[in-house]
Structure 1
Amino acid sequence: MSILTRLLVCLGAIAALVLPTTAPAAAGQPADASGAEHPVVFIGASGLSLSDISPESTPHLWKFAERADMANVTVRSVVSVTCPAAGWLAVGSGARMHAVNISPHVTGEQAAAEADGTLSSEDEERAAEERRSACPDLRAPEGTGEDVTVENFDRVVAANAQNSYSSGIGQLANTARESRVCVEAIGPGAAWAAADETGRIDTWEPAGTKPGSSARAQQADTAGTGLCPLTLIDAGTIGSERWTADAPAGEHDEQLTAIDEHIGEYLAGLDLKTTTVHIAGVGDLGNPSRLRALLRSTPEVATGDASPGILESSSTRKPVLQLTDLTGLLLAAAPGIDSELAPNPAQLTRIDAGEPAAERIDSLTGDATAAATVHRSAQTFSIVVTTAFYVLTVTVGLLLFRPLQRWWARRAGIAQPVLAGRIRTGLGWAGLILGTVPMGSFIAALLPWEQMPDPVLGLGLAIAAGSALLLATGFAGPWRRTFAGRVAAICTVTAVLLGVDVALFGSQLQYNSLMGYNAIVAGRFYGLGNQGAALFIVALFLALAFGARALAARTDRRGPLILFLAGLGAIAVGTLGNPVWGAKFGGTVATLSGLMVLIALSLRARLSLLRLAGIGAVSLGAILGVAALDYLRAPAARSHFGNFFAQLLSGEAFEVISRKLSANLNIIVVNPGMAIIVPLAAVVILIFLAYLRRFAATAALTRRFDGVLPAALEDRCVHAGFLAVCTGLLVGLVITDSGVAVPGTGAMMFVPFLLALSADVPAGRTPSTAATMPEADSGRQESAGASVAGEGR
């Protein structure tokens, strides 16, 4: 059987494991309110969080919460902070929205100049930018009653025309109208949610109006309640009109009290035993954004037929809903709505049913605190780890600079080879410690750091503890005698932890972690994030390489080696690519490509550029096939694999790809520190650690540095693992939406561990000797438990 045939057989086995499975059974009870004949009332209060609700400060909300399901809600819009207008637009459209001020933003003089065409291009650009960026007042319609219009609403439509989130302004209004169902809107925010693309609202009343007061509501008289099937109410806003970071405490408390009173007045006119009522924070109170509250009372809970609990959404697989989920949920619950016209709603599951409201609020508030702490600490953490990498780069360059080593050896009165060995050992220890920090930030999620009085301090201590625990695994067995053994153990634990977490525990290590994903950012909620995938690629291929080396030391046969690499590789890729588990499209292609390189090189196959391109194309084709199979499932059961394939068929995928490419390029702009890591890592590996010494044409570039990476990688399997990591990270650079963050994050673990591997090369092994070392043959090789260098350190 040829090498190519073996690779194709391995690829087929891997693809079979990646095939989508059905969604895992929910641990709680289904909690959807669809299919009922009860009217639905939605009360929005921008800025409302679960931490605001207590018996003392919000008695009406507390009384409601005691018999209500609850969850956090992420209000993320097109920009990072969601003002009330953008939040209400999202409720009405089911998509992230731009909010623009529909009042003029130019002076009278400028307006006259704009009218006659003499407004300067600079003033015109400034005015346009103000319209785009301002957080506008919620302008109420002119008049009340039936068929009223929000003036200048065309500006909102124009601002969202190029919205890459496939905006659908007026989706709620149009779906209800086509279903011949009345929607009553009360208050200015509700008007924006109930408006169609022309700004027209079927029924609108000013804030404070009792639900069911309109003629259409009384005519509809849904289930004898005197209400329209769907009622939207704007209860007001908690926040600063200055849109600064946090309103003064007194102002916030006064607003909260007023909101509670308003909501109490609306609830007093509703019978909860015959009405489904949602109360949600539909926007932020200022900058920065935070998770907001969602409370829901259904007749089955109000009558005692079911116990209230915490809601989990199928769109997030967490006790947090997206604001854009509410459109589908409201339409699905409202009687009379044609389900074929409405968007597919997220499926809700009730967990922790029967627990007291105080305990449920405490649990969800803890999640919100963790999200907020990670959100505001992410940039600081990024600066710390990137700075540490810069310092490591400079230190490696200086300490391995041979003229400096000669000077130092003369001053110290020792032989340069001895000094070089000590330097490599010191760098090895530094690399081993620093290489555990990225994964330590994930392990921190296992500790309840958010419960500390100072959550930021708690997070820092948890990362230190997680890193120490991971480092300890390198010293917990016979592998502790060498740096190679320690790296192998740490990488094995890292790969297993990341894989088991996404397969069995719902990505708890990823969620609200500094290098994972954050509910406030709302880019991803489950599966393996791009930075997690980068660490997985590094850990997986180094672990497999050392395992293959140990196996090759025990047998000359290729069969066991193929079975080992393909079997464990298939499990890893299957875990990453399964839509229910890792759900990582680009990362799966990158991992599969790296795995094919590892298998091929371990079997002594020669890989040309054409073969590498073929491996990438086949990997991409296999994942697209998985996405196509996932697409065949019911829409509500699809992962984002299947949703992407649906977008591909409808043409919307190009908008998604455009947004991903934009995000990729934006990372370079907003986080240049991460982008710089990639070329720095290349310099360290190729020049300082002297990987280029392997090749006669480039060996001269490394002559002034004392790197011994060629010697550290002289084992065929370990070298194959090194190249597999490089392949996976480079493919990740091209195909994932985080782009440069993938190799940048991977380098934070990869480069330090290469320093550790280099520390095993003995002091007597000079760079020139290392350069002439032949590749290991196919005979028995040194086992993973034995030292690469001979003597343990």
Structure 2
Amino acid sequence: MVYGIILLTILGMILTMVGMATTAFAQAPATAPPAARQDGETAAPAPIVVLGTRDLSWGGLREIESSSSPAAGDAGSLLDAASSGEPVNVVVRSANPATCPADGWMTLGAGSRARALPPGAASAPTTPACLDAPDAASALATSRDSGYEARPGALAIALAEAGVPATAIGDTASLALAAEGGAATTGDSLEDLLASSPSGLALVDTAAGAATAEQRVTTLARAHEAVLAAMPQARVVIVSVADAEGPSPQIGILPAGTTSPRGRDGGLLVGESTHQAGLIQLTDLAPTILAALTGSPHPGGASARMTGSALALPDSPPSAASAEPGATDSADPSAVEALADDALRARASHLTTIPSALLLIAASGMLALTAALALRRARPPRALITLRGAALTTSCLPLAALLSGAIPWWRAGASAGEPSSAAVAAAVASILVIGVALVALVALIARAVGHPVALVAGLTSLAWLLDAALGAPLAFNGTLGMDAVVAGRFYGMSNTGFAIASAALVIAIAALRVLAPPGRGWALGLVALMGGGALALDGAPWLGADLGGALTLAPVLVVLAVALTAPRLDRRGRLRAGLGAGAGMLVVGAILAALDLVRPADRRTHLGRFAAGLADGSAWGTLGRKAGALIAPFLSNALALATLMAGLVAVVGAAWWGAREHRAWREGQSAYQWLVTGSAAPRWVGASLVGLGVLVVVETLLNDSGLSMAVISAAAAAPLILRGLLAESPGQRPER
């Protein structure tokens, strides 16, 4: 039976992903070689000049442009450059939570998240520790300890191997070209650089010595004008590489005619690494520059460690490209407004994540505590009706949190591109309002078909899984995280989303088992159909792209199938079920990794890169970083540590209480015995609890935010379990 459920679960996933694999290969971007002259010789590619600044967002730029500041005209010229080019939001997250200029430049040069400063340097962003450039040797040593396996200077090494010169102006910018065993090539000033008419790549730090945002805007605009005047043949990239003053997406302006393998959406370039319109990562610039100057985004060697995905710059600068047939049109004038709104939403989402999660946890916890105290003795029907309504309302909140992404709550109280506490209140209010509306809808449907627990659980799981498969349009920058500030994930299934969807899935399968005809075959088929579909949506690299979730869900489904079909196994049976669960986890992981490994290197997900790292030994650093991420928040924050201790006390107390009540139940002496009769209710509830127990344990061990995932899963499951236990009248189960 165990091997049968493994095969049935995997079969649907394989068939689904084989079709997706062919589509992925068809969409693989082709890298064009450098332009050839009519005489057959390869022409030197047009030079690329990267003008970098720091702590500059689209909202901040628009605010300066509309003010009476002397820099208003310079801000206007940058906005004009954006309207004639390809404006984007840039995620500058490095190996540090807040990115100082040195971290940003080193990340740009590595093509992967790196850091030049120790983690505590960005805690005071206006101090020299964050704003000044460390020497190259200490920066390289610090980056080696980041846990991201980045190779500093990978861009410079790859360009040198291709014979393409690279120069940096400014001590901080030179860190982008710093590499082990070599020193960066630096210039004295931008004026000297322009006088020499450089070829290849030039990196210019325009923010050196500029203390205020207005000063940084002025120096950036003047540098842009100087480059356009002296080097009309150059392709100019403008980017803010650091966000230490306020972590948020930063400005980026790519040359007109830049394209992405994922095309455009709403007039904005879709980032290849983010799958989101108008959003790229700082790590994307290195492979983009390599592709533009050498013809290949990953020529091998040092560039193999790059995690960014290449965009395609035009072969010639915007002025020439615009005259060529078929050149891309300039960006829509409303593009900057849309980008500023996206950045505002990302920052508001970052502020709202904890309050929204606490709403779900507190509502579920208060409901469980109230029910535990109130149901120790028989209650009149009216009291049960109140508890049932509260349980149903609370169980709808996780789905409401997802659907709230369709409401622009992040704009409440916003000023100058900055979110306010009103946005947090609006987010919480939207969850509550949508939750109440869902309760009314569920009650209406349940009146016709019955089984509100299966209905709510099924809808919750399906909605989160489908949203992940469609690129997370609701979950990304939503009320429960997965935002562009933390930048842990941009599409697919987030850890919080998986915690909710998987808990709801376990309960939906168990509750629907009551409706199926008797027999093990029906139970196995139900688990295979719903579980296999969930595995495909969650784990397929082209859909949910969730390695930890797929590896977690596989053993949970096996254990759930055993609990539904053979709830009273002996010790040998439990051992075989455990081995089957472990085998299911390994089989799912191997299949997903194999399918991702055959894709081009620059299109692999985290799973494919991790599998490749197992072969070259670099994956152990990733495992160490994730293990550290599991406990680091609690070691660096006293409030978080206190919360953890309180949570552990609550869990231990609940486990002790639950064990005592379980013994009393088996002996027929439980104070809650009056709630159910017969064996139908305990069977599906018991199977759910077994599956949920495996879920919270495995997801805690396999994910770098596993402790919070376990709490979210429990918060999503508790009201559903309680609603399933509550009878329409004392002693009678409605879900027969």
Shift of 1:85: 1.3
Alignment-derived partner of residue 186 in structure 1: 169
Contact 1:235 1:263 in 2 (8 A): no
Q: SS at 1:79's partner residue?
A: coil
Distance 2:330 2:28 in 1: 14
2:734 aligns with: 787
Q: Secondary structure at the match of 1:160?
A: helix
Amino acid of the structure 2 residue aligned with 1:326: L
Please report the TM-score for the alignment, with normalisation by the length of structure 1. 0.77
1:439 paired with 2:439, answer: no
Distance 1:299 1:439 in 2: 41
Counterpart in 2 of 1:281?
Answer: 240
1:267-346 equivalences in 2 (<5 Å): 267-271=228-232, 274-284=233-243, 286=245, 288-298=246-256, 309-319=267-277, 320-335=279-294, 339-341=299-301, 342-343=303-304, 346=309
For 1:537 and 1:9, locate their aligned partners in 2 and report how far apart those are by CA, in whole Å. Answer: 20
Candidates 495, 501, 520, aligned match of 2:467: 501
Kindly indicate whether the alpha-carbon contact (under 8 Å) linking 1:85 and 1:135 is maintained by their aligned counterparts in 2.
no
Structure 2 match to 1:51: 59
How much does 1:390 deviate?
4.5
Structure 2 counterpart SS, 1:200: coil
Question: 1:169 matched to which residue of 2?
Answer: 152
Aligned counterparts of 1:480 and 1:743: Cα–Cα separation in 2: 34
2:234 maps to 1:259: no
Deviation at 1:307, TM superposition (A): 13
What is the deviation of 1:279?
Answer: 0.7
Paired residue for 1:537, among 492, 499, 502? 502
Tell me which of 184, 201, 218 is aligned to 1:230.
201
Structure 2 runs not aligned, ≥5 long = 36-44, 67-71, 314-327, 415-422
Structure 1 residues 516-540: Cα deviation after superposition (integer angstroms, max 9, x where no partner) = 4111111111211111111111211
Tell me if structure 1 keeps the 8 A contact 2:275–2:490.
yes
Q: Cα offset for 1:756?
A: 1.6
TM superposition shift of 1:424: 4.2
Q: CA deviation at 1:624?
A: 2.7
Residue type matched to 1:98 in 2? R
2:204 match: secondary structure:
strand
Q: CA 1:298–1:712 in structure 2 vs 1: closer, same or farther (change >3 Å)?
A: farther
Give 1:734 shift.
1.9
Structure 1: give runs of 5+ residues left out of the alignment: 102-125, 140-150, 215-225, 241-250, 403-415, 766-785
The alpha carbon displacement at 1:444 in A equals 0.9
Give the SS at the match of 1:96: coil
Task: Give the equivalent residue in structure 1 for 2:339.
Answer: 364
1:186 touches 1:209 (CA, 8 Å); kept in 2? no
- In the alignment, the residues of structure 1 paired with residue 12 and residue 61 of structure 2 have an alpha-carbon distance, to the nearest angstrom, of 50
Tell me what 1:488 maps to. 454
Look up the match of 1:568. 530
Shift of the 788–679 alpha-carbon distance from structure 1 to 2, 3 Å rule, reads: farther
Tell me the equivalent position of 1:146: none
**Residues 345-368 of structure 1, C-alpha deviation per residue, up to 9 Å, x if partnerless?**
514389xx7575431111111111
- Aligned-pair CA distance for 1:95: 2.7
One-letter amino acid of the structure 1 residue matched with residue 272 of structure 2: S
Q: Distance between the aligned counterparts of 1:436 and 1:307, measured in 2? A: 32
Distance 1:300 1:291 in 2: 20
1:427 corresponds to: 387
SS where residue 417 of structure 1 aligns? coil
Distance 2:539 2:183 in 1: 45
Aligned pair partner of 1:7 in 5, 18, 32? 5
Alignment partner for residue 657 of structure 2, among 663, 687, 692?
687
Partner of residue 740, structure 1 = 707
Which of 373, 382, 385 is the equivalent residue of 1:398? 373
**Bigger radius of gyration among the two:** 1
Preserved CA contact (<8 Å) 1:686 1:692: no
Counterpart-to-counterpart distance in 2, 1:360 and 1:445: 21
Cα deviation, residue 232, structure 1 = 0.8
Provide the C-alpha distance between the structure 2 equivalents of 1:72 and 1:704, rounded to a whole number of angstroms: 58
1:544 and 1:694 map into 2 onto residues whose CA distance is 28
* Partner of residue 183, structure 2: 200
1:502, 1:210 → 2: CA distance? 50
More helix by share: 2
Give the alignment's TM-score, normalised by structure 2. Answer: 0.82
In the alignment, what sits opposite 1:598? 560
Distance in 2 of aligned mates of 1:261 and 1:642 = 43
Provide the secondary structure at the position in 2 that maps to 1:95.
Answer: coil
SS for the counterpart of 1:522 is coil
Which deviates the most, 390-399 or 359-368?
A: 390-399
Residue aligning to 2:320? none
What is the CA deviation profile of residues 482-503 of structure 1, one whole-angstrom value per residue up to 9, with x for unaligned ones? 6xx2222111111221122122
Range moving further from structure 2, 727-736 or 684-693: 684-693
User: Which residue identity does 1:13 align to in structure 2?
Assistant: L
**2 CA distance for matches of 1:309 and 1:14?**
37
| Change in 2 beyond 3 A, CA 1:348/1:440 | farther
The alpha-carbon deviation at position 763 of structure 1 amounts to 2.6
Code of the aligned partner of 2:461: A
Structure 1 residues 135 and 424: alpha-carbon distance in aligned structure 2, compared to 1, 3 A threshold: farther
TM-superposed CA distance for 1:449, in Å, is 2.5
C-alpha displacement of 1:712: 8.7
Distance 2:475 2:574 in 1: 35
Aligned to 2:547: 585
Corresponding letter in the other structure for 2:195? S
Residue correspondences, number: 676
**1:389–1:748: 8 Å Cα contact kept in structure 2?**
yes
Question: CA–CA distance in 2 between the matches of 1:383 and 1:717?
Answer: 29
Distance 1:741 1:384 in 2: 14
Closer/same/farther in 2, CA of residues 238 and 530 from structure 1, 3 Å limit: farther
Cα gap change, 1:355 to 1:395, in 2 (>3 Å) = farther
Is residue 548 of structure 1 aligned with residue 488 of structure 2?
Answer: no
Change (3 A) 1:656 1:728: same
The one-letter code of the counterpart of 1:725 is L
1:219 maps to none
2-structure distance, mates of 1:744, 1:331: 44
Q: Secondary structure at the match of 1:233?
A: strand
Q: Find the residue that maps to 2:270 and give its secondary structure.
A: strand
* Percent identity between the two aligned chains: 24
Flag the 1:239–1:31 CA change in 2: closer, same or farther, 3 A: farther
Q: Give the C-alpha shift of residue 707 in structure 1.
A: 8.2
Give the whole-Å Cα distance in 1 for the aligned partners of 2:76 and 2:30.
26
Which residue of structure 2 lines up, in the alignment, with residue 654 of structure 1?
Answer: 620
Give the CA deviation at 1:638. 1.9
Distance change in 2, residues 1:183/1:6 (3 Å): closer
Task: State the Cα distance separating 1:754 from its structure 2 match.
Answer: 1.9
Asked if structure 1 preserves the Cα contact closer than 8 Å seen for 2:291 and 2:310, the reply is no
Match of 2:427 in 1: 459
Counterpart contact for 2:91–2:487, Cα < 8 Å: yes
CA contact (8 A) 1:184 1:203 kept: yes
* Letter of the structure 2 residue corresponding to residue 78 of structure 1: A
1:639 aligned residue: 605
Answer whether contact 1:169 1:197 (CA < 8 A) is retained. Answer: yes
Report the alpha carbon displacement of residue 566 of structure 1 after superposing the two structures with TM.
1.5
5 Å-filtered alignment, 1:413-424, equals: 417-419=378-380, 422-424=382-384
CA distance change for structure 1 residues 459 and 739 in 2, over 3 Å: closer, same or farther?
same
CA distance in 1 between counterparts of 2:362 and 2:85 reads 47
Q: CA deviation at 1:564?
A: 3.1
Distance across 1 between alignment mates of 2:31 and 2:429:
40
Contact 1:690 1:709 in 2 (8 A): no
C-alpha change, 1:758 and 1:540, in structure 2 (3 Å) is: same
Task: Tell me how far apart the structure 2 counterparts of residues 276 and 726 of structure 1 sit (CA, whole Å).
Answer: 56
- Superimposed CA distance per residue, residues 727-755 of structure 1 (whole angstroms, 9 cap, x where no aligned partner): 22322122222211222101111112222
Q: CA deviation at 1:705?
A: 6.5
Q: For residues 597-634 of structure 1, what are the alpha-carbon distances to aligned partners after superposition, in whole Å with 9 as ceiling and x for unaligned?
A: 23223333655441242133212211232212321222
